[in-house]
Amino acid sequence: MTTTVAEAAAPARPPRLRSILAGCAGNLVESFDWFVYAAFGLYFSEVFFPDGDRTTQLLNTAAVFGVGFLARPVGAWLMGLYGDRVGRKAAMVAAVSLMSVGSLLIAICPGEAQIGVAAPAILVFARILQGISMGGEYGAGATYLAEMSSRHHRGFWSGIFYSTLIGGQLLAMGILLILNAVLDAEQMQAWGWRIGFLVGAVLAITVFWLRRGMEETPSFHARTGPEATTWGLIRSHPRETLTVIGLTAGGTLCYYVYTTYSQKFLVNTSGFTKEQANLITAGALAVFMFATPAFGALSDRIGRRPLLIAFGVLGVGLTWPILSLLAGTRDAWTAFALVTGALLIQACYSSVNAVVKAELFPTATRALGVALPYSIANALFGGTAEFVALAFKQAGRETAFFTYVTVVIAASLVVYVTMADTRRTSRIAEH
């Protein structure tokens, strides 16, 4: 079924605005819970994987990070169907509940020295729960926000949505910086890292209650047509499904290279201390967070496609130089400028990626259409970013990873150039 885009409505009414803000707040907490793992990985890798050198420990930790990503398509599939059949709000409540359980499990799990191989097994199980949660959160959250926003401000709210993802990651880094200031290295290694996961579990429980008071979207209430099914999505919307996979691949890989992996890269390759790497990454993320809504608002004026093409062209041309210079620098301000510059390029993609996906699909299958192909690409390229990078480094061919990132962005650029601008062809109806 194809819905028609009505002419512009006024900005969201107060009840809708409150629901949008509640959804964004929940998205921030989900992101915090997800990225605490990456932020604290330098500290708990020895607790769960005590054997081998630092690169081997980080490689094992990154592999578990990747397992969480492999669970995201499962969560996207389950929560996407749930969101299209029962409601966006119901899917968002379910997602945050799983995230809380996963964070709590990691917070209280003994290390390998206490319970042997059961420790990494519990870690993997907890990350699977969080992966299912995050996979469902993105589709339901992006769909909810797009449907609740007015047409003329949808790009801006897409940028806000993504800035809450960054905000969650930045909050995780902030907790890490605070703990580094009050605890010594031995305390951080022994038990300090657990505080981040405990905070995440408590925040997720708070968001559970917050989300129970949200409104359902008018688009969901007005939906018509057959009930959403996986086969129905593939059969009726193959082009849109493949478009989401293609446009996501380069963006999600680049995002995880310059956010979660850059922290390890600065320590393991550039030679900065953990504390310096944390400060550099946190500062760059703060700039990124504030830039994303501005880029989203720009897309409301000039369209989504020009920003996506700008990301693709700049990403292809500058990825190798940025990573090469970052590998060789020992100056913290230079490293900050390089990471920040890379993330400003990334903002061209991140600011609009949520709304572009939502605008591709009709209401009846929108949550599944946004979530499932996105999570597949996210698992294949985003979730494996750290593991692939560390594998290249361990093999003594770290610069080959720079080529890999460039090639994947180039493939996504082809999609950006050939796709329609969803600002003009949006299938989200105003109500």
The H or E element containing residue 185 is helix 185-187
The H or E element containing residue 7 is none
In this predicted structure, the answer to whether residue 3 has a pLDDT above a threshold of 50 is: no
DSSP 8-state secondary structure symbol assigned to residue 183: S
State percent of the chain over pLDDT 90.
32
Is the residue at 213 inside a domain?
yes
Is the residue at 124 inside a domain?
yes
Model pLDDT, residue 14: 54
Is the residue at 21 inside a domain?
yes
Is the residue at 62 inside a domain?
yes
In this predicted structure, the answer to whether residue 2 has a pLDDT above a threshold of 80 is: no
The amino acid at residue 174 is G
Q: Token digits for 390?
A: 């560390």
Q: pLDDT category, 148, cuts 50, 70, 90? A: confident
Model pLDDT, residue 23: 78
- Give the pLDDT confidence of 209-268 residue by residue, as tens digits: 878 778 888 888 777 767 778 888 888 889 999 999 999 999 999 999 998 888 888 988
Q: CA neighbours within 13 Å on the CB side: how many for 67?
A: 17
* pLDDT, averaged across the chain: 86
- Computed on alpha carbons and rounded to an integer, the radius of gyration of the chain in Å comes to 20
- Give the pLDDT confidence of 31-80 residue by residue, as tens digits: 898 888 877 887 888 888 877 666 777 778 878 877 887 888 899 899 88
The H or E element containing residue 382 is none
CATH number (domain holding residue 189): 1.20.1250.20
Q: pLDDT category, 9, cuts 50, 70, 90? A: very low
CB distance 33 to 102 below 8 Å? yes
Q: How many domains does the chain have?
A: 1
C-alpha 12/C-alpha 56 separation (Å) is 50
Model pLDDT, residue 8: 36
- Give the pLDDT confidence of 70-123 residue by residue, as tens digits: 888 899 899 889 989 988 888 988 888 898 899 999 999 998 888 988 988 998
Domain that holds residue 71: 14-425
Model pLDDT, residue 10: 39
Model pLDDT, residue 7: 33
Within 10 Å of residue 236's Cβ, how many Cβ atoms? 18
Is the residue at 3 inside a domain?
no
C-alpha 216/C-alpha 314 separation (Å) is 39
Kindly compute the dihedral angle of the four CA atoms of residues 398, 400, 404, 406, in this order, to the nearest 10 degrees. 100
Is the residue at 9 inside a domain?
no
Q: Token digits for 426?
A: 């949006």
For 391-414, give the DSSP string: HHHHTT-HHHHHHHHHHHHHHHHH
C-alpha 40/C-alpha 47 separation (Å) is 11
- Give the pLDDT confidence of 370-389 residue by residue, as tens digits: 889 998 998 889 888 888 98
For 10-43, give the DSSP string: PSPPHHHHHHHHHHHHHHHHHHHHHHHHHHHHHH
Is the residue at 7 inside a domain?
no
Burial of 342 (0-12, 13-18, 19+ CB in 10 A): buried
Model pLDDT, residue 282: 86
Is the residue at 4 inside a domain?
no
Burial of 418 (0-12, 13-18, 19+ CB in 10 A): exposed
Most confident stretch, 2-11, 21-30, 31-40, 287-296: 287-296
In this predicted structure, the answer to whether residue 323 has a pLDDT above a threshold of 90 is: yes
Q: CA neighbours within 13 Å on the CB side: how many for 259?
A: 33
